[in-house]
Structure 1
Amino acid sequence: TEPNLLLLDEPTNYLDIVSLRWLGAFIRAFEGEVILITHDRDFMDSVSTHTMGLRRKNVSIIKGNSIKYYAHIAQEDELYEKSKINHDKKRAELIDFIARNKARASTAVMAQSKQKELDKMGIMENLESDSDLSFSFSYSPTPAKVIMSVKDISFGYNPDEPLFKNLTFNLEKNKCLAIIGKNGKGKSTLLNTLAGVLTPNGEITTHPSTAIAHFGQTNIERLNTNSTIIDEIQSADNTQPNVKVRGICGTMMFSGDDGEKKISILSGGERSRVMLGKIIATPANLLFLDEPTNHLDMQSIDSLCDAVKRFEGSTVIVTHSEMLLRELADQLIVFREGGAEFFNGTYDEFLEKIGWEDDISDVPKAQKPIQQGSKKEQKQQRAEIIQERSRLLNPLKKEIDFCENTIMELEEKLKTSHEQLIKYSNEGDSSKLMELSKSVAADEKRIEELFERLEIASNEFERITKESDEKLQAL
């Protein structure tokens, strides 16, 4: 029988760009359900209808891609922080009132009542922030406008079967050259050749001031497993002071004692971060990056992309990530059947002018969606949904604004009233104290009622918005 549920755990690992495009087409055409774990944001967003995230030991799911998911959790955090400010403010006022009045016989009962109210409130904890990789490459200044000049280079482990031949191009300062194509065609070999690890036929010329930093898969494998993280990063430049090395360790998310961990116990992602740390410790104006996103999580990949964008030198990168290609690549070397070709343009320009159609066979075709009416009918339905949503949300918006504004006004009034209570207590004016205490109790009850109304209105507002968005997406 045909499966109706696919469970895919990091299916994009080690797939080349052509296989990734095929897999994306397969998933989109698959008629059953798919549960997918991946750190490839671009791939995930191209195939997913819902996004689930594990954060602060809680699982949440939303309809939409990762952009909507992160917008949703940012909105949740903002709401929590606003609620916490009001919560902490009220707690502080209660604590102050209790401290001033619990010792006086005339106000002890009231202080006890406030203590019970304080106990019921509990404490809203500070939100834990996730550790993110954030760094910049160390730039070594160079006056060169052309960092590398390549003329008619060829290389093959078997002379009769060259992996590439007669490649010619110039790499200018602040440009990024991406090497792409199927697995096993020679992409890493070409990068190692350009980095000086292998010797080709032809000419590779660099400016005298060119300083290289090389992130390669073989470099990661050559990390000394008996060394600590600190020692390994220090080995990139022994003149670096220990304070700076520890700073790089912290940047790579190895803070404090974590820097003393042995390389042997690190995961693949952690070893990749150590290798990145070694590159950061090396001033350079030409980066060679061979599949640098392997084993990195989504946020670390974003940080790497930002670091390459900010780098003032030039970059040669081997990657299968179409997101990185769109964000970074100014020029391409494309491995296809018959060798490698230089393409002077961006990845989107390559797709438009050449593309991968000749390299991808048996691409699954997605079923055509059932027609749900003409464009005119859909436009009318969309207008009706939006109109109905506005009709339902407008009174809720007014209710939310009213509750929020009134709560703020009452809390300011309570602050003044608490000061007056202390004054009347010190003066021994029991009649005014009793009268104001009743007013304070009424205002506090009113605030509690308004918070309940605010929660109901906010939940209803969110529900209606979600339902109308689903209806609009269904069109």
Structure 2
Amino acid sequence: MIRLDNISKQNGKQIVFIEASMSLLKGEKVGLVGPNGAGKSTLFRLITGRELPDEGQVSIDRGVTIGYFDQDVGEMSGRSALAEVMDGAGPVSVVAAELKELEEALADPEQADNLDALVERYGEVQGRFEELGGYALEGRASEVLAGLGFSPEMIDGDVGKLSGGWKMRVALARILLMRPDAMLLDEPSNHLDIESLIWLEQFLKNYEGALMMTSHDRAFMNRIVTKVVEIDGGTLTSYSGNYEFYAEQRALADKQQQAQFERQQAMLAKEIQFIERFKARASHAAQVQSRVKKLEKIDRVEPPRRRQTVAFEFQTPPRSGEDVVSLKGVHKAYGARTIYEGLDFSVRRRERWCVMGMNGAGKSTLLKLVTGSTEPDAGSVTLGGSVKMAYFAQHAMELLEGEHTVFESLEDSFPQAGQGSLRALAGCFGFSGDDVEKRCRVLSGGEKARLVMAKMLFDPPNFLVLDEPTNHLDMATKEMLIDALANYEGTMLFVSHDRHFLAALSNRVLELTPDGIHQYGGGYTEYVARTGQEAPGLRN
């Protein structure tokens, strides 16, 4: 269906592709992976014709339709979410628009003289609309939007009033409803909660076209893709299998290449030592020349060119009391909508609670109550003795001083710390070299999240409250964060849609449902095994 043959591409001074080739065949589900900046989005733009290769060729079979979802959703306002989604449904949306215009014309008294022609055209267009499944379109559009978490009010409401994250879901729904021959999805799992993620997972598994996607959600990628294409150092390498298989093969290949590199380096050192030792002796001149020529002909093995993620290690946090936080008889409502009515909940030292619940169940509200960001209408929230709390929420990224550099931001927070330790901290969170001189206003969402986290974890709290901490983080940073938090000696209360994060770090589950609030001993993995569901209300 889609082929890239020996493409080369350079953006400014950066070489993105060097004679790279790959194909996307009918029915294939491909995961596109590589370090940040490797060229994943560039590859999508080459396939869609938004950019052209400097050399080589991009070939797409005649008649193949392509749906492309990226993070730049453009302006949306003045229409309902439903109308916006239906408008992107391909040929049927064009026919639907004409049908609507004809209906308005037929109702217009000034068009009475054209009535016969309008009726005739209406019959033709209506027939075409029916042929394209137009009357089922609204139902399908509503179903897709509901799957992505939209309430009936949001489906019919003005799309312009939605947040950026919800507009992303509208843009994604347009592509899903279109059902093109090939879908290119750039980070479709961003901004989705766990229920929407699981719905999308099932939708994409059942999708019969070709799929190529990027995602920082390991579990999501692992369950959908059957082939992985890696971009690294300007080349494209294909691996048959899911993400887990790719990760194993990549680690094995790196290990083998490193061993091969080290063997060659040892051999080269030995040969160079011989040449240096005997180059002045006439009796060894022939041997020296022979070895020099041998070295000139050797193909040098490169060490694995992988992005090294620096491990972050917590300093030991101060010990808190056994009772970390206690909520008693808590009531909380927003207007007529009651969130909590008589909530009793407590967190004890070293517990790691993940909070599960559908949209609007009160997950973020609970975290705000615990951190004092919002007050209960009735009841009490009490922090225990010696509790040193840190709270990560999405709005924390908006509080960074825009004109300060990354390094200045760290210095402001920790004036007593030495430059060396702050640079090491920055390196752990992906800011190496000149990256520490970037101004906060130009940082991406992922970079802002990493900076906020670095500031939060350097002077370690003994109680971490985290609201979607993995949003915007790439897989390498997520793995680093999971490894660091696995060794953290404090207490945690968190909300996350990342199932790998949930499974790795929780040892308690608080489930918020319309039927009541349920507490489970054991972590997320045990919760799934016990309830038969990956999220409240979703059966496996």
| TM-score normalized by the length of structure 2 | 0.61
- Aligned residue in 1 for 2:237: 60
Q: Which amino acid aligns with 1:163?
A: I
Q: Structure 1 residue 169 and structure 2 residue 326: aligned? A: no
From 1, 13, 33, the counterpart of 2:210: 33
Contact 1:181 1:187 in 2 (8 A): yes
3-state SS in 1 of match to 2:494: strand
Q: Deviations over 1:362-385 (max 9, x none)?
A: x9xxxxxxxxxxxxxxxxxxxxxx
| Correspondent of 2:199 among 22, 25, 33 | 22
CA distance in 2, matches of 1:231, 1:98: 51
Contact 1:51–1:66 (CA<8 Å) still a contact in 2? yes
Which letter does structure 1 place at the counterpart of 2:215?
A: T
Question: How far off is 1:271 after superposition?
Answer: 0.7
Q: SS at 2:259's partner residue?
A: helix
Out of 368, 376, 392, the residue aligned to residue 192 of structure 1 is: 368
User: 1:179 offset after TM fit, Å?
Assistant: 1.9
Q: Secondary structure at the match of 2:481?
A: helix
Question: RMSD between aligned alpha carbons?
Answer: 2.6
Q: How far apart, CA to CA, are the structure 1 residues paired with 2:275 and 2:315?
A: 56
1:265 lines up with 2:442 in the alignment: yes
- Which residue of structure 2 lines up, in the alignment, with residue 446 of structure 1? none
Match of 1:341 in 2: 517
Change in CA separation of 1:12 and 1:48 when aligned onto 2, cut-off 3 Å: same
Give, as a single letter, the amino acid of the residue that structure 2 aligns with 1:41.
R
Structure 2 CA distance for partners of 1:337 and 1:143, relative to 1, 3 Å? closer
8 Å CA contact 1:137–1:279 kept in 2: the answer is: no
Under a length normalisation based on structure 1, what TM-score does the superposition of the two structures give? 0.69
1:352-409 deviation line (CA, Å, top 9, x unaligned): 3373688459x9xxxxxxxxxxxxxxxxxxxxxxxxxxxxxxxxxxxxxxxxxxxxxx
Q: 1:58 to 1:262 in 2, by over 3 A?
A: same
Gap change, CA 1:256 and 1:32, over 3 Å in 2: closer
The code of the aligned residue for 2:439 comes to: K
Q: Which has the higher strand share?
A: 2
Partner Cα separation in structure 2 for residue 76 and residue 233 of structure 1: 37
- 2:533 paired residue number: 355
Q: In the superposition, relative to structure 1, how do residues 359 and 342 fare at CA in structure 2: closer, same or farther (>3 Å)?
A: closer
Work out which of the two has the higher radius of gyration on C-alpha atoms and give 1 or 2: 1
C-alpha deviation, 1:104, in angstroms: 4.5
Q: CA deviation at 1:76?
A: 1.7
**Partner AA of 1:273 in structure 2:** R
1:171 Cα deviation after fit: 0.6
For 1:224, the aligned partner's letter is E
Query: Is 1:148 the equivalent of 2:297?
Result: no
**Following superposition of structure 1 onto structure 2, how do residues 355-434 of structure 1 map, counting pairs within 5 Å?**
355=533, 359=537
Quote the residue 2:291 is aligned against.
114
What is the CA distance between 1:123 and its match in structure 2?
3.1
Which one has more relative contact order, counting CA pairs under 8 Å at least 6 apart? 1
What is the aligned partner in structure 2 of residue 253 from structure 1?
430
Gap runs ≥5 in structure 2: 1-131, 133-178
Distance 1:248 1:33 in 2: 42
- Per-residue CA deviation, residues 216-267 of structure 1 (Å, 9 max, x unaligned), is 1111111111222223223334444444333322222223443232111111
Distance 1:14 1:348 in 2: 23
Matched, 1:323 2:477: no
Mean CA deviation greater in 56-65 or 260-269 = 56-65
Deviation (angstroms), 1:213:
0.8
Match of 1:80 in 2: 257
Q: Deviations over 1:179-210 (max 9, x none)?
A: 22333443222211211111112111111201
Q: 1:168 to 1:235 in 2, by over 3 A?
A: farther
Given that 1:228 and 1:260 are in contact with CA atoms closer than 8 Å, whether structure 2 keeps it comes out as yes
> What is the percentage of aligned positions where both structures have the same residue?
32
Aligned partners of 1:184 and 1:24: how far apart in 2?
A: 22
Q: CA deviation at 1:41?
A: 0.5
SS in 2 for 1:156: strand
SS at match of 1:135: coil
What does residue 246 of structure 2 align with?
A: 69
**Taking structure 1 as reference, are residues 309 and 89 closer, same or farther at Cα in structure 2, changes over 3 Å only?**
closer
Conservation of the 8 A alpha-carbon contact between 2:352 and 2:493: yes
2:44 aligns with none
Aligned partners of 1:214 and 1:289 also within 8 Å: yes
Letter in structure 1 aligned against 2:436: G
What's the counterpart of residue 226 of structure 2? 49
Residue in 1 that maps onto 2:164? none
Contact 2:355-2:495 at 8 Å conserved across structures: yes
**Matches of 1:357 and 1:254, distance apart in 2:** 35
